[in-house]
Chain A
Amino acid sequence: MTLRFTTTTLDATIPLAVSGQIDASNAAEFRLAITDALEHGTHLVIDLTAVDFLASAGVSVLYDFVDRDPRLVVRPGSIIGRILTIASLDDYLSPQAT
């Protein structure tokens, strides 16, 4: 399973674009990418629009960073948005996704 990450630094905002499928086999990679990104700024935006599968293992990683108040971007109407809602992370979803 390959996960891809792209980080672009704009002022203090760190957009982290993720693509691929996140499950228990690569959640650690996902955690590492977020940790890396946080070294470049403070305001974390995680773009999950190109993620086509998100298991609870990935949700747990996101939970580890809620104190950084991340913005999560998902494709409107996608299963990823539903899973984040079920897991009560909908407060962090970017407004356009709802």
Chain B
Amino acid sequence: MRGVLAAVLTAGDGRRIGLVQLSDRYAGDFTADDEAVLQQLAEMACAVVQNLQLLHRQTGVALTLQRSILGPTVLPPGFAVHYSPALGALEVGGDWYDVLTLPDGSYGVVIGDVVDHGLPAAAVMGQLRSAARALLAEGHGPARVLTALDAFAELIPGARCATVFCAIVDDAAGTVHYSSAGHPWAIIDDGRKHVLLTEAQSAPLAVRRTVHRRQAQAALPPGSTLLAYTDGLVERRGEIVDVGIGRAADALARHRDASPAQLAHLLADQLIDADHDDDDAFLIYRQPSGSTRPLSMTIPADTGQLTELRATLRSWLRAGRVSPAGTDELLAAAVEIVTNAIEHGSAGQPDHTVSIAADIRPDQVTVTVRDQGRWRGRHPAAGRGRGLLIAETLVDELAIDATDAGTAVQLTKSTAP
């Protein structure tokens, strides 16, 4: 025994999880006593390391489970959220928010508050959130969702008396349909004044045998902001809640120029009481203002890109309030021109690109498609001629600008009804 002394850290199941090594004894060689001490040391270290590993695994599991019951972190455009559970070890609480895109392109929005906080409230919250989400996805309106949640909440101990605000935000129509189960009023700032969504108020979940869930509609003019929240945003000790709601409405008016994400930070800073020790959640939606930003994108010359291109163009046209029929026609026309650019303009070479620019003016939409290829004229018998014919028929104007450097095709379509 000289110079170096080592002990393997062996777990109960025989796995080797580490090594303790001693070297260069201060005086003389390592002795059998040293070895015994090291062996004990190694066993103790082994126990500590194993406990830590177990704790890491459990924490990981707990975090994963918690995150799975929380609302989505990737939100559709125009939305921002703030979520902070009561102080403690948990990342979730009894408050929740949810946003989901419905099949028709509108958005289902939920914000809710389970009585109490901490782990039991979070467990109830997760169930209510999933149920509300499933009901919205099934196409039910807000009042129907809350009615069904009543029945569901009766089955879950701890869900009784939870409050929920449920809404469908239709950005294309500029409306919000909503229903509230005892939840504090949501607020719309329309750019000049604020409106409280008080028209569809009824009791919290599962407190009465039968509750008639009402539903109401409010306008979301261009550029307006919807704020739905749980009580932490508006409640302060020794103050009636109306004061807090007024404060929130004032903050919305003060920050009309802020983006939804910036607004979420500002509201959290300015409105949530530092002493507040409960869950906080709020959700912001900003309706696009009338002027939709021009769209500009460049894609590889590959027909595999068409699906995504169509989805991007469709949501852009929707945000610009182009009618569904007009959107279908423009999409069909644009895809013909882009396909033509991919297959002929770029000679099918994937390193070539096709660029698409689109712009909405008050009464018309233009889509311009550019490629680096040469315009080949039209061959009516071929599929390409047919594509051009389809495009030409579906828009008001089709202009072709062909040079040696490339070809640009511009589609113009009136958006007047």
Residue of A nearest to B314 (CB): A53
Contact in complex: B307, A1 (CB < 8 Å): yes
**A55 CA / B388 CA spacing, docked (Å):** 11
Q: Which chain B residues lie closer than 8 Å to A1 at the CB level?
A: 304, 306-307
Contact in complex: B303, A23 (CB < 8 Å): yes
Q: Is B383 an interface residue (CB 8 A)?
A: yes
Contact in complex: A55, B307 (CB < 8 Å): no
Contact in complex: B306, A25 (CB < 8 Å): yes
Contact in complex: A56, B307 (CB < 8 Å): no
Contact in complex: B390, A23 (CB < 8 Å): no
**A60 CA / B379 CA spacing, docked (Å):** 14
Among the listed A21, A53, A56, A82, which residue makes an inter-chain contact with B383, where contact means beta carbons less than 8 Å apart?
A56
Contact in complex: A23, B335 (CB < 8 Å): yes
Q: Is A97 an interface residue (CB 8 A)?
A: no
Contact in complex: B328, A57 (CB < 8 Å): no
Category for how many chain A residues contact B: 10 to 19
Contact in complex: B383, A57 (CB < 8 Å): yes
Contact in complex: A57, B389 (CB < 8 Å): no
Category for how many chain B residues contact A: 20 to 34
Contact in complex: A21, B310 (CB < 8 Å): yes
List residues 367-400 of chain B with CB under 8 A from any CB of chain A.
Answer: 383-384, 386-387, 389-390, 393-394
Among the listed B306, B310, B331, B387, which residue makes an inter-chain contact with A56, where contact means beta carbons less than 8 Å apart?
B387
Which of the segments B82-90, B215-223, B336-344 contacts the partner chain?
B336-344
Q: Which chain A residues lie closer than 8 Å to B91 at the CB level?
A: none
Least CB distance, A21 to chain B, in whole angstroms? 7
Least CB distance, B144 to chain A, in whole angstroms? 26
**A79 CA / B328 CA spacing, docked (Å):** 7
Once A25-B307, A55-B336, A56-B336 are accepted as A-B contacts, the answer to whether A86 and B331 lie under 8 Å apart by CB is: no
Among the listed A53, A57, A59, A87, which residue makes an inter-chain contact with B310, where contact means beta carbons less than 8 Å apart?
A53
- 1/0 contact trace for A32-49 toward B, CB 8 Å? 000000000000000000
Contact in complex: A25, B331 (CB < 8 Å): no
Least CB distance, B260 to chain A, in whole angstroms? 30
Q: Which chain A residues lie closer than 8 Å to B386 at the CB level?
A: 56, 59-60, 87
**A83 CA / B331 CA spacing, docked (Å):** 12
Q: Is A10 an interface residue (CB 8 A)?
A: no
Residue of A nearest to B302 (CB): A25
Provide a sorted-by-A list of 5 A–B residue pairs whose CB atoms are within 8 angstroms. Answer: A1-B304, A25-B307, A55-B335, A55-B336, A86-B393
**Nearest 5 pairs between A and B by C-beta?**
A56-B387, A25-B303, A60-B383, A79-B328, A24-B303
A25-B306, A59-B390, A83-B390 known; 9 other A-B pairs, CB under 8 Å? A21-B310, A24-B306, A24-B342, A56-B339, A56-B384, A56-B386, A79-B329, A87-B386, A87-B389
